[in-house]
Amino acid sequence: MKHSLRILPRETKTRIYRKPTGPIVVSGDVLLTDENGEQLKHSEKFSLCGCGKSNNLPFCDGNHKKQPPAANQ
């Protein structure tokens, strides 16, 4: 009996959700660009800033954690 292996493609659906504290988490196959269409490098899973306080926009750099709790809602 001959056995064969198949390698199935990974799930490539994109998942995007916003954490209650601000970051917008993106995972999956996405092309992220700036307003001029220039591609922005990112990892397979990354977070966009949803609070506007990042020093590395459009990415979250954790600055939302420095906000008072009421500002995160």
| Footprint of ligand FES (CB under 6 A) | 22-23, 49-51, 53-54, 60-64
Closer residue to ligand FES, CB minimum distance, 6 or 66: 66
Half-sphere exposure of 56 (CA within 13 A, CB side): 13
> Cα separations (Å) of 7 from 4, 12, 17, 26, 71?
10, 14, 29, 25, 47
Output the smallest distance, CB 64 to ligand FES, in A: 3
Output the smallest distance, CB 33 to ligand FES, in A: 19
Output the smallest distance, CB 11 to ligand FES, in A: 26
